[in-house]
Amino acid sequence: MLAHCTPWPEELAARYRAQGYWRGETFSGVLDERIARHGERLAIVSDTRRWSYRELGAEADRLARGFHALGLGPNDRVVVQLPNCAEFFAVIFALFRLGALPIFALPPHRKFEIGHFCQHAQATAYVIADQHAGFDYRTLAREVQADTPCLRHVLVLGEAGEFRALDALPRLEQDLPAPPRPGDTAFFQLSGGSTGTPKLIPRTHDDYLYSVRASAHICQLSTDSVYLSVIPAGHNFALSSPGSLGTLYAGGTVVMCAHPSPDVALAWIARERVTITALVPPLVPVWLDAIHRMRPDLRSLQVVQVGGARLGDDLAQRLSQELDVTLQQVFGMAEGLVNYTRLDDPLGVVLHSQGRPISPDDEIRIVDDEDQPVPPGAVGHLLTRGPYTIRGYYKADEHNRRAFTAEGFYRTGDLVRCTAQGNLVVEGRAKDQINRGGEKISAEEVEQQLLAHAAVSACAIVAMPDAFLGEKSCAFVVRKDATVRGIDLIRFLRARGLATYKIPDRIEFVDQLAHTGVGKINKKQLRQDIAARLGGAAPGPQHPTTLESTQP
Ligand code: AMP
Ligand code: DBH
């Protein structure tokens, strides 16, 4: 076991093995087996590639040998930040084979996040595309490498500049190290988090493959399935619920959509006869409108999954009425637990709940503030433990004491209730986080960055309602210097290298922050204040402090 990763207690691990959840598979073993069984079947399609399982395997093998020749090996941490492309899979399967551990960064992450992952995990390599969506990742790599002595290799898909191209790895013939074992950590997922720095989530081959295999089963994937990856490939939803890995597990085809715009995605569906895809809620109305406008051929499409943030009842209704597909709600987390409405659930369940856990051994507790069970059907904090839910974040002992109970239940921070049929409904959130259309923002992380500005004496970030994204972020700021403007703070945060989606959508200057009786900042009051201020009036030019983000 990698240092600083919390194992499951042996008794539970034995149970998960005995129940057949942990089958002793590894990712590279699974790929080898799929090549043997489905070698000539189409595995991955992208703008530039069309790889069979055999070709994917050959490319992963070439990269594994090249990475190994550079000195990468078991337990080396490697930050992977690629757009949705075929090479993403060649890279991660190469790393899996070596026992090196990908850290799945998201394309919008910038110097603040990437620098933190590299330093916190002492990463030795960083894999990027030369540029994507108008951004040059080599510039970012240069900045990060300057501050991170452990980062020995920057590997580039495309034009490498002073770095090394994935196309030009050394071709040394040498034996690869022994493959990893099923109980080993396979990679790190990222937590949306609610603390000052993003947390890393260690997932093992055994635990993740269980969630992938069971998800593929729940979603009825087969060799005929074609999964369209629209949201970022490294995100837990797109990777594993059942996502690309579930599709490859089933011997199907993954189509990598490099741009989430519906025009591009809908054309892929028609061209590759896509059967299933996954969206975050804000994409739903955008897709529906585009479908009405473009009338694409969607006859192949059977299932549209929606998750990452609460899907409003109206949108759920619209989707199921306007498209001839099965809607599936997915409520998951990179820490583990994933809930699905089932494909044969009654419409009422699909429209009005976020489904039920994957596993009979997912333990669910819904509790009050004192960790006592609430009455059946009442709203409470969701705690969970099970065969694919982590027992601790990586190198985060102090935070782990708060994020997990003494019995090892993960405190999800979600407020849920359970229906009489056993489905969960997400009613809210107790964690200090903004869910910006599926992109999670830790309030504390952004507050700490804002407080670094010399003119900010206090601040608090809260969610404000938004018709399109569900929530956006609003920063209440007490300033020392009245000449400092919102735009100055925004520029300051950008210069610190914070991902764009975390930059507050709106800044409200106030004389002081509302406090609770015990002296804590009263965020509930602040949320009410901003919601009331937005009520009726559309946010926009009439609010001089509104700063429209560049996010879609
Ligand atoms: P993370 O822990 O960063 O992977 O984010 C997972 C969180 O996203 C969950 O704990 C929920 O707060 C939120 N989430 C994911 N899916 C849904 C959903 N279908 N409805 C409501 N919230 C969701
Ligand atoms: O939001 C998430 O993190 C998420 C949503 C749906 C997730 O991790 C998942 C499914 O696996």
Is residue 97 over pLDDT 50? yes
Q: Could you identify the residue written with the tokens 């594993």? A: 240
Q: How far apart are CA 336 and CA 485, in angstroms?
A: 41
Does residue 133 register a pLDDT over 70?
A: yes
* Residue 550 pLDDT greater than 50, yes or no: no
Q: How many angstroms separate the CA atoms of 10 and 17, rounded?
A: 10
The whole-number pLDDT of residue 492 equals 98
Query: For position 1, what pLDDT does the model report?
Result: 74
Q: Under 8 Å CB-to-CB from 127, ≥6 apart: which residues?
A: 78, 79, 80, 81, 82, 91, 155, 156, 157, 166
Q: Is 527 helix (H, G, I), strand (E, B) or coil?
A: helix
Q: How many residues does the chain have?
A: 552
The answer, yes or no, to whether residue 548 has pLDDT greater than 70, is: no
Among 188, 329, 331, residue to substitute to test ligand 2 (most atoms within 8 Å of Cβ): 331
Q: What is the mean pLDDT of residues 410-424?
A: 98
The atom number, within ligand 2, closest to the CA of 189 reads 8
The average confidence (pLDDT) of the chain is 95
The structure's pTM equals 0.95
Sign of CA dihedral 361, 365, 371, 376: negative
Cis ω on the peptide bond leading into residue 357 (within 30° of 0)? no
Q: Which residues contact 200 (CB under 8 A, 6 or more apart)?
A: 103, 117, 120, 121, 188, 189, 190, 191, 393, 394, 395, 396
How many angstroms does the Cα of residue 335 sit away from the middle of ligand 2? 9
Dihedral sign for Cα atoms in the order 489, 495, 501, 502: negative
CA of 249 to the centre of ligand 1 (A): 24
Is the C-beta atom of 462 inside 6 A of ligand 1? no
- Closest to 227 measured CA to CA, from 239, 214, 236, 213: 239
Ramachandran class of 484: left when φ > 0, alpha when ψ lies in -120 to 50, beta otherwise: beta
Q: What pLDDT is attached to residue 552?
A: 30
**Look-up: residue for tokens 């959509």?**
257
Q: Give residue 172's pLDDT.
A: 79
Is 41's pLDDT higher than 70? yes
313-340: per-residue pLDDT in tens? 999 999 999 999 999 999 999 999 999 9
The one-letter amino acid code at 385 reads: R
309 ligand 1 Cβ < 6 A: yes
Segment 427-435 shows an average pLDDT of 96
How confident is the model at residue 468, as a pLDDT?
A: 94
Q: pLDDT digit string (tens) for 465-514?
A: 999 999 999 999 999 999 999 999 999 999 999 999 999 999 999 999 99
Q: Is the CB of 240 under 6 A from ligand 1?
A: no
Give the pLDDT score at 537. Answer: 40
Model confidence pLDDT, tens digit, residues 7-19: 999 999 999 999 9
Closest C-alpha to ligand 2, atom 1? 308
Is 315 close to ligand 1, i.e. is its CB under 6 Å away? no
Q: What is the largest CA-CA distance in the chain?
A: 68
Q: Is the pLDDT of residue 551 over 50?
A: no
The closest alpha carbon to 414, from 434, 392, 429, belongs to 429
**Residue 203 beta carbon below 6 angstroms from any ligand 1 atom:** no
> Which pLDDT belongs to residue 57?
98
Single-letter code of the amino acid located at 77: R
Any residues with CB less than 8 A from the CB of 438 and at least 6 apart, and which? Answer: 231, 280, 281, 282, 307, 308, 309
CA 50 to ligand 1 centroid distance, Å: 33
β-strands 42-45, 50-52: how paired? antiparallel
Q: Residue of the nearest CA to atom 8 in ligand 2?
A: 333
Decide: 332 in ligand 1 pocket, CB within 6 A.
yes
Q: Residues 275-286: pLDDT tens digits?
A: 999 999 999 999
In the predicted structure, residue 516 carries a pLDDT above the cut 60: yes
One DSSP character per residue, 496-507 reads TT--GGGS-SEE
Ligand 1 mean position, distance from CA 308 (Å): 5
Q: How confident is the model at residue 195 (pLDDT cuts 50, 70, 90)?
A: confident
Place of tokens 């694919």: 388
- Ligand 2 centre and the CA of 236: distance in Å? 6
> 203 C-alpha to center of ligand 2: Å?
14
**Distance in angstroms (rounded) separating the CA atoms of residues 414 and 380:** 8
- Residues flanking ligand 2, CB < 6 Å: 236-237, 240-241, 307-308, 330, 332-334, 338
pLDDT at 414: 98
Asked whether the predicted pLDDT for residue 547 surpasses 70, the reply is: no
Ligand sitting nearest the alpha carbon of 433? 1
Run of H or E residues at 333:
strand 326-333
Does the structure show a pLDDT above 70 at 176?
yes
SS3 content of the chain, % helix, strand, coil (to 5): 35, 25, 40
**pLDDT band at residue 197 under the 50/70/90 scheme:** confident
Q: Is 383 in the pocket of ligand 1 (CB under 6 A)?
A: no
Segment 192-213 shows an average pLDDT of: 95
**Using one digit for the tens of pLDDT, what is the confidence trace for 139-166?**
999 999 999 999 999 999 999 999 999 9
pLDDT digits over 246-275, tens only? 999 999 999 999 988 999 999 999 999 999
332 CA to centre of ligand 1 in angstroms = 5
Please tell me the predicted confidence (pLDDT) of residue 268.
Answer: 98
State how far the Cα of 433 lies from the Cα of 453, in Å rounded to an integer.
21
Q: Is the pLDDT of residue 544 over 80?
A: no
Q: Which residues contact 255 (CB under 8 A, 6 or more apart)?
A: 45, 46, 226, 227, 228, 229, 268, 272, 274
Residue 539 vs residue 418, higher pLDDT = 418
